[in-house]
Structure 1
Amino acid sequence: MEHFGWVQEAAKTEHFPCADCGFPIVGKNLEWGKGLYVMGAFAELEIGPVARNISGAKKAAGIIADAAK
């Protein structure tokens, strides 16, 4: 996650949980902080390696949409 140092800084400032590898620790609904949802690489620990492709984007969008209801 070396290209996302700004995310790690924001996580420290806002006290968002991160794994030792730097990835966000998110809930089953992909919420990292109150009202802040992630997808793509940031959702990889929850969704798995598919998170970085179109299938993962569709899966994450569905999860986030359900959580927003």
Structure 2
Amino acid sequence: MSHTIKPTSDLSDARWRKSSYSGGNGACVEAAAVGHRIAVRDSKNPAGPALLLTQHAWRSFIRAVAEGECG
């Protein structure tokens, strides 16, 4: 299987959301739906890079966080 990584050149119209569970400690990510993918970025650095995940990868990430596997 071949994967092509395309740069996320323009996320300026993305509607970024931060979890209501974020405790204000600065360790937050923001997410935005971009077509059929989910963009994720560091809330402390909104102009920085963003990851572009498939919906499956996003669900797996959320599940891992909820089950305490990421910390």
Task: Quickly name the TM-score band, shorter chain normalised.
Answer: 0.3 to 0.5
Structure having greater relative contact order (Cα 8 Å, sep ≥ 6): 1
Instruction: State the TM-score, normalized to the length of structure 2.
Output: 0.34
Higher share in strand: 2
Structure whose CA Rg is larger: 2
Higher share in helix: 1
Instruction: State the TM-score, normalized to the length of structure 1.
Output: 0.34
